[in-house]
Copies of this chain bind each other. A is one copy, B any other.
C-alpha cells in the first residue's frame, strides 16, 4: 500500500493538457521545456508530443481541439503555416508571417494563434550580446519558422539579408515581407555566400535527427562568422560542430527555445490574449 510506489506526482485527472503537433515528433524539445515552465509556475499542466501524419491533420486537429481539458497546442514542422486555418484570430506576428506556432483556447472558447520563433531567436542574440543591427545576414529556410525569424530580424535593422529556400516562391515571399518591414534593408533571394556575411542562420530542418548534411556547401567557415542553427535535436548539429571547429561564435536552437517558452506560456495562460 505504499503510495510512493504505485503513483507518480506529475500527472493526474485534473492535469490540464497541452500538446506539440508535428511530423516527425521524436526531435521536439517542447514537452520537457514547457512542462518544466508550467511546474515552475505551480500549474498542474503537461505538454505532450502529438504525432499527426500529414494526411490526418485536417481531421485530427479539430477533434483534438474539442478535448475539454486541452488548453493549447504548439505547432512544429511541417504544420506552422497550415495551422493558421485553425485559429479564429491571429496575433500581430502571425499576421505578418502567415504562420503560427502557438494556438491557445480563450476563456470565451475562441482559439487564438501567434508565432514566437522569431522573437525567440532575436531574444537569444540579445541575451548573448551579439548585435544584429548593421550586420549582413544570410538565412537558409523560409518556411514557417524561417519566415518568423526573418521578419523578427528585419525589425532589428540589419544592413542586408540574403534569403535561401529550396522552394524559390517561399524565399521570394519572405524577401517581400522583409522589404515591407524595412525598405532600408538590402534584400536578395540567393544561396548563402559565406564571404560577405556576418551572421549565418539555418532555419531549415537540415541537420536534424542524425541528418549528417550541412545546409551550406562548404568545408570551412571564417572564424568572424556568427552561426545560428534553429534545429533543437541534436543540440549540436553538423553545422554547429563545423562552426565551433572553425572558431565561429555559435548560437543554438535551445537558446532560441528558451527565449520563446516563457512568452508562450504567458500566451497560453492568458488564453491567447497576450500577443507578441
Residues of A within 8 A of B (CB): 5-15, 17, 23, 25-33, 35-37, 39-40, 46-53, 56, 59-60, 62-64, 66-69, 233, 258, 261
Contact at B25–A69, with CB atoms within 8 Å? yes
Contact at B67–A51, with CB atoms within 8 Å? yes
- A interface: dominant SS: mixed
Known A60-B66, A66-B60: A29·B13 in contact at CB below 8 Å: yes
Contacts of A15 in B (CB 8 A): 31, 48-49
Looking at the complex, which one of B46, B53, B64 makes contact with A11 (CB distance below 8 Å)?
Answer: B46
A-B contact pairs, 29 of them (CB 8 A): A5-B40, A6-B33, A7-B29, A7-B32, A8-B39, A11-B31, A11-B32, A11-B35, A11-B47, A11-B48, A12-B29, A12-B31, A12-B32, A13-B26, A13-B28, A13-B31, A14-B26, A15-B48, A23-B68, A46-B48, A51-B68, A51-B69, A52-B68, A53-B68, A56-B66, A59-B63, A59-B66, A60-B64, A62-B63
* Separation of A22 and B63 alpha carbons in the complex (Å): 15
Give, as a whole number of angstroms, the nearest-CB distance from A228 to chain B: 16
Of A17, A30, A46, A63, most buried by chain B (CB within 10 Å of CB) is: A63
Give, as a whole number of angstroms, the nearest-CB distance from A161 to chain B: 29
- Sort A-B residue pairs by CB-CB distance and give the 5 closest, nearest first: A63-B63, A51-B68, A7-B32, A51-B69, A13-B28
